[in-house]
Structure 1
Amino acid sequence: MEQSRKIGWYGLGSMGLFMAINLHNKLKAEGSYLTYSNRTLSKGEVLSQEGAKPKNGITEVARECDDIFLMVSTDAVLKGLISEMLESDVDLKGKTVLDCSTTHPDTAAEVAGLLQAAGASFVASPVFGANTVAQAGRLLFAMAGNQEAIQRLEPLIVGVMGRKIVNMGENARDSVLLKVTGNVLLVVFLEAIAETQVLAEKNGLGTKVMEEVIFENFGPVLGGYSRRMTSGSYAPKEGNAGFSVANTIKDAKHALRLAQDLDVRMPALDLATNNMLSAKAYGGENLDGAALYGVLRSQSGLPFWSNESRQQ
């Protein structure tokens, strides 16, 4: 990779912070550093302590850096950042923007067109995996867009932030379409595991033995989904939820919108989304997407909160 190109990062949420730390460690080992920013800049203190360079906003990151990774929560935030860069005095020609967020495919296509008109390249790079997978540097990257950029930046992704790249070609829309479609499995799995664990608790088997079976029979991914429920992390006693219920709802709604446009029925996803909406209405913002477990508990005569979760 071209060592002269400076690398930037914006977005230090539950996924982005771990990804940025892994990327900075790689750059630091090569005698360089990551330039970063975030809406709340203090969230990057651990990066600053390790030699990464903070900047006040996306414009300053874009001014200094050639390749800029984004990891943000919503389509609106992404569009706002792109607009901010385009409306600034920063010359974007020759720069590459890589968006690791999960957006609607139409948003990726729109952003790609805007950046290309400004002489920049865009790579839609949504990732599969929870924050624990991000911390371990084992995310699966779905990437589409400028192929030269994907090839050039692969050494900063594979073995650093992710285990593999699924290259979806030149059309940025396609990698996001893959991510949104794949997220149907995530949400429906959460619903199925929550239903299973509530039944196991009610029929006397207990969640511990059921979780053992889930791990042994279906592997660590589904076992990890179960643990998000049984450990109480669906409504953490301290700190912030791993992957917020609001973001999970957003991802599910993207899939439901695509399905509606194509006249595809998705009753399981629709049910799970409604349960997440109910969870958010009852328990507030600081819930994990697995909080549909609390709703199913309530519907079965159990408290929304478990002994392991917070209690209100």
Structure 2
Amino acid sequence: MSDALLPPKDKTDTLPYSRPVTPDHGRRVGVYGLGAIGYSVARNLANSLSILPLVVYNRTSAKSEKIANELGPNKILVAQSPADLVDSCDIIFTFLANDEVVKSAYKQFYQALQATSSVTPKIFVESSTTYPTVAGELDNLISSVPHARFISCPVFGAPPAAAKGLLIAVMSGDYRSKKEVAYLLVPAAARKVVDLGGNVEKAPTLKLFGNSLILGTMEIMAESLTLADKAGIDSSVALTLLNDLFPAPIMTAYADKMTNDKFDGTLGFSIDGGIKDASHIRRLTSELNSPMPAIDIAHQHMLTARAGHVTKVQQGTSKYQTLDWSALVSGVRVTAGLAATGSGSHTGVVLDDE
């Protein structure tokens, strides 16, 4: 494993805040959203909390029951509704699928806050990937309630990194709230925190910047691997060279997925999430007059890949329930006149040795 992915030996360089007065505080922590990232964060937080069990809520109750059965009642309590989560918790993390789901959840939080007479301070930590202005809307909503605070805290890292507590958390919003949340996350669920100040829209903006780097890199790799495939270069040779030239874990992992058709979206980042994030990035580039044609093309290739997958699902021939966003390479292959899957099996230009 690259040193860049190893957890820190201490928090000196990974937390931009001094230690809170009561870092173990004994405040009740909750997690809403037990998807690929949220589930791992919840597990890690539950195992790190020394006083009170973690409270979880998920719209699909099976996931809440799964983590409760996995860790037991001393580690996990299951909330029966978003209002129950708000009533019982002091710090609530949300890991949700898209902007509309996030807005819906926070409206329920707001209604629950309005209905209670509690004066206990509450911190809401939004960790989904949303358009930046959503954070501003949520901050206005939550902060209008006395004793309630909102911070943006999207995270970088694939599910395996989340499972190992190696996420990078990006924070913006209320300073004291960020400090308290940072010491909850590191080292239990994250290896580093990046502070972007008080404007809650800055953290989700940086999240889109980071995802544009990843997506743009994947697009270039997909195009290059497809070119090698058409030219009759053995896929294992192309993959080895890519790894030698760019020995970055995130690049080698996605290149391996593309080369070997490892497109199971339940084990990574789904193509639906990728299309959503690409749409957000494209909207941001339009508003700021900062063109990113690579993202435009990647967006179209993901749409092509998803369309082919939908057809296979309808025909009952799909290998996967949902695609990983690295399946954008199948969109590249189709536009190059190749089959969507089966890298390395195509007949290309083969030069005879002389």
Q: Same fold (TM over 0.5)?
A: yes
- Contact preservation (8 Å) 2:235, 2:343: no
**Equivalent position SS for 2:201:** helix
- d(CA) in 2 for partners of 1:215 and 1:135? 24
Please name the residue that 2:335 is paired with: 299
CA distance in 2, matches of 1:267, 1:123: 32
Aligned to 1:19: 41
Structure-2 separation of matches of 1:67 and 1:180: 25
The answer to whether residue 189 in structure 2 is matched with residue 167 in structure 1 is no
Shift of 1:201: 2.0
How much has 1:211 moved relative to structure 2? 2.1
Confirm whether residue 278 of structure 1 aligns to residue 300 of structure 2.
no
Note closer, same or farther for the CA distance 1:159–1:215 as it changes in structure 2 (3 Å cut): farther
Matches within 5 A, 1:204-223: 204-218=232-246, 219-223=248-252
Stretch deviating more after TM superposition (68-77 or 126-135)? 126-135
Distance 1:92 1:138, change over 3 A: farther
Corresponding position of 1:190:
218
- Look up the SS of the partner of 1:169 in the other structure: coil
Match of 1:111 in 2: 138
Instruction: Report how far residue 186 of structure 1 moved.
Output: 1.2
Q: How many angstroms does 1:168 deviate by?
A: 0.5
Q: Would the alpha carbon gap of residues 81 and 293 (structure 1) be closer, same or farther in structure 2, given more than 3 Å must change?
A: same
User: Normalised by the size of structure 1, how large is the TM-score?
Assistant: 0.92
Tell me, yes or no, if the aligned pair for 1:73 and 1:247 is still in contact at 8 Å: yes
Partners of 1:211 and 1:163 lie apart in 2 by 29
Say yes or no: does 1:203 pair with 2:239.
no
Code of the aligned partner of 1:48: A
TM-score by structure 2 length? 0.81
Q: 1:213 to 1:256 in 2, by over 3 A?
A: same
Following superposition, the deviation at residue 256 of structure 1 comes to: 0.8
Instruction: Kindly report structure 1 stretches of 4+ aligned residues shifted beyond 3 Å.
Output: 90-93
CA, structure 1 residues 92+259, in 2 after alignment: closer, same or farther (shift >3 Å)?
Answer: farther
**Cα separation, partners in 2 of 1:10 and 1:259, compared to 1, 3 Å:** same
* Separation in structure 2 between the aligned mates of residue 92 and residue 233 of structure 1, nearest angstrom: 49
The percentage of counterpart residues that share the same residue type is 33
The size of the alignment, in residue pairs, is 303
Return the offset for 1:14: 1.4
Residue 47 of structure 1 aligns with which residue?
67
Where in structure 2 are there 5+ consecutive unaligned residues?
1-22, 311-320, 345-354
The correspondence of residues 143-154 of structure 1 with structure 2, limited to 5 A, is 143-154=171-182
Map of 2:14 onto structure 1? none
**One-letter identity of the residue aligned with 1:42:** A
In the alignment, what sits opposite 2:326? 290
| 1:252 aligned onto 2:281 | no
Distance change >3 Å, CA 216–CA 58, structure 1 → 2: farther
Corresponding residue for residue 35 of structure 1: 55
CA distance in 2, matches of 1:132, 1:214: 22
State the partner residue of 1:60: 84
Q: CA-to-partner distance for each residue in 1:122-176, whole Å, 9 max, x for gaps?
A: 1100111111211121111110111111111222211111110000011111111
The unaligned stretches of length 5 or more in structure 1 are none
Read off the aligned partner of 1:10 and give its amino acid letter: Y
Could you give the per-residue CA deviations for residues 9-68 of structure 1, whole angstroms, max 9, x where no partner exists?
A: 0001111111111111111xx243210010112113342021311112221111100000
Using the TM superposition, give the Cα deviation of residue 230 of structure 1 relative to its aligned residue in structure 2, in angstroms.
2.5
Q: Distance in 1 between matches of 2:77 and 2:99?
A: 26
Amino acid at match of 1:124: S
For residues 99-136 of structure 1, the C-alpha deviation after alignment (integer angstroms, 9 at most, x for no partner) is 11110110001101110001211110011111121112
Q: Which of the two has higher C-alpha Rg?
A: 2
- Give the equivalent residue in structure 2 for 1:230: 259
**Residues 32 and 93 in structure 2, CA contact (< 8 A), matched pair in contact too:** yes
